[in-house]
Homo-oligomer: A and B are copies of this chain.
Amino acid sequence: MNMRANLRIDNARVLDVYSGEIADMPVCVREGRILGFSRLEADETVDAGGAFLLPGLIDAHIHLESSMLCPACFAQAVLPRGTVTVIADPHEIANVKGTAGLAYMLEATRQLPLDVRFMLPSCVPALPVEDAGASLSAEDLLPWLDSPRVAGLGEMMNVPGVLNGDAELMAKARAALDRGKKVDGHSPGLSGQSLDAYIAAGISTDHECSTVEEMQERIRRGMYVLLRESTASRDLLRLLPGVTPANARRCLFCSDDLHPAEILENGHIDHHLRLAVAAGLDPVSAVRMATLNAAECYGLIDKGGIAPGRVADMILVDNLRDFRVRAVWAAGRLVAGNGRMLEALPPVDDAAMRGSVRLAPLPAHPFALRIPGGKARVIRLLPRSLITGHHVRTVNVTADGFFDCALNPGLVKVAVLERHHATGKIGVGLLDENYGLQGGAIATSVAHDSHNLVVVGDNDDDMRLAVEETARLGGGVVMAADSRILAALPLPVAGLMSDRDAEETADAMRELLRLARVHFHIREEFDALMALSFLPLPVIPHLKITARGLFDVDVFRFVHIAAP
């Protein structure tokens, strides 16, 4: 009983998420777990100098791939920010690489001090009409579900499938529930009887609320609601007025998708805490949302609090307003301090994830667009939104009926090229002047959810050049102008992730975004690249484009560019 500790932290104000109190007491750690609060002899002692000791932060829902960082570099970016656990849905890489992608993500995170738990992607591909790199059946997922690092089934985006009791989807949900694991939801705008039916399928979370009403309706029906603050969708402050002392235990934080520059500049879940507390949420409730609530929701029984037997994930912060992270212990080991990692994270073999861009040889005129009638369906990109406009325009065409940008100032071409199986499928469409691009082309292999190759441009030559360079790099973002490469961010890992660290990747991204404004004149209101990355996602209204052509989401079918 006279146990010796490996570590004792003295002089800390310990935030106890269970009682909601803050107590001055020593915290002892042994073999990676909390031993207790007695002043035991210890191999090492740390004087916290009166700072606040909190449980390690938990991001309840994230697609790691969206950071464009490999798992180790992602860990290096977020650990110094206090995130010690993330619930990751690897559905981007699964759309490219299927179960090999899952295997890579599990392996690449196995040895990290960041504790990565997985929700298996439930909807790969997002729709049957997609040309993804892989599809994942219930049978494919089954062997992965028993892993202790798999917490359940990822967001059920196929809402109609759930409501219609699609057998394959239900089999996936059943398999998770039968193992006592969770099923994440994704039901923006769903309400009333349909929402009831969706939840009754065993779905227990939603991170897609954008109004207090949506949030309240879900909490009342037994869901956990994740307050999301992502690069694409800033929901936290919109939802915060809906958090009450009575329902806060059902509220969590998540980042969903974060660009690397955003992590470096704003932070991660520490940023959520700052935002929430600055907006008036009491700090203890905020910390519980970032720790205990997430642990309870996902069944992480030995995480989420500083208490005997729990994994010793702890962070030291100066105060409960700025949440500046001074020190981070992951499973009892000091891994980061004052904003920097204290150790290098070893690289992982990613050979199987490389060379994922397999394009068929381009034809002579891959982007030729014949609209003999001169009336075209046109996509309008909207700033700060994934929703697009759909309208019909009269366009000028050549004598033989071809669209030419030179004849239609402001309109630009957009194309999606199947890039997983070299099938040669190319869908071509038009964007209106709202986006504002001129003077070249931009291509990217990050394009939800199938991650085919998207290119936009005001001339076919630069479009071809950007596509070919993206393929040569094995994926990435490429800008071409005046028949030369202007800038590029290589994303060789599945065409989604960089092999560089967060700083380098963020710098490259910033440069691309700068060029988008100064060279391509894309309107400042747009995140120029993210707007492109969501253009092919045929589950968001109204008009989208895939490698099979234009997709009218409102009527849920492909439509011809030539309007009647």
Interface residues of A, Cβ cutoff 8 Å to B: 1, 3, 16, 18-21, 23, 33-38, 40, 163-164, 180, 192-202, 204, 216, 219-223, 244-247, 249-250, 284, 296, 299, 301, 305, 307-310
Contacts and interface: CB of A to CB of B under 8 A. Distances in A.
Contacts of A163: 1
A296 B296 CA distance: 8
A193 B38 CA distance: 6
B192 A299 contact: no
B20 A246 contact: yes
Residue of A23, A36, A202, A301 contacting most chain B CB atoms (<10 Å)? A36
The 4 closest A-B pairs by CB, nearest first: A36-B196, A20-B246, A222-B307, A200-B309
B308 A220 contact: no
Contacts of A194: 1
B246 A197 contact: no
B180 A310 contact: no
Contacts of A18: 219-223, 247, 250
A317 to B, nearest CB: 20
B247 A199 contact: no
B307 A221 contact: yes
A272 B546 CA distance: 61
Contact of A34 (B200, B216, B305): B200
A324 B296 CA distance: 33
A21 B222 CA distance: 12
A195 B37 CA distance: 10
Given A1-B163, A163-B1, A296-B296, A197 B308 contact: yes
11 contacts: A1-B194, A18-B247, A19-B219, A34-B200, A37-B196, A180-B180, A195-B308, A199-B308, A199-B309, A204-B301, A222-B310
Contacts of A35: 196-197, 200
Contacts of A21: 220, 246
A200 B301 contact: no
B299 A180 contact: yes
A75 B198 CA distance: 34
Contact of A247 (B19, B180, B305): B19
A18 B215 CA distance: 12
Nearest to A221: B307
A36 B309 contact: no
Residue of A197, A202, A222, A284 contacting most chain B CB atoms (<10 Å)? A222
Contacts of A16: 220
Nearest to A37: B196
Given A1-B163, A36-B193, A180 B20 contact: no
A536 B78 CA distance: 58
A3 B194 CA distance: 10
B246 A249 contact: no
A131 to B, nearest CB: 30
Residue of A35, A194, A200, A284 contacting most chain B CB atoms (<10 Å)? A200
A54 to B, nearest CB: 15
Contacts of A180: 180, 299, 301
A197 B284 contact: no
A199 B163 CA distance: 44
A284 B246 contact: yes
A373 B233 CA distance: 88
A296 B204 CA distance: 13
A16 B307 CA distance: 30
B200 A33 contact: yes
Contacts of A296: 296
B36 A305 contact: no
A196 B301 contact: no
Nearest to A20: B246
A284 B246 CA distance: 9
Contact of A19 (B33, B37, B200, B220): B220
A162 to B, nearest CB: 11
Given A18-B247, A180-B301, 6 more contacts: A19-B250, A34-B200, A35-B196, A36-B195, A40-B193, A246-B284
Contacts of A310: 222
Nearest to A310: B222
A42 B465 CA distance: 63
Contacts of A219: 18-19
Contacts of A36: 193, 195-197, 199-200, 221
Contacts of A164: 1
A248 to B, nearest CB: 10
Nearest to A216: B19
Nearest to A224: B18
A249 B245 CA distance: 11
B20 A221 contact: no
Given A199-B307, A200-B33, A1 B193 contact: yes
Contacts of A245: 245
Nearest to A203: B309
Nearest to A40: B193
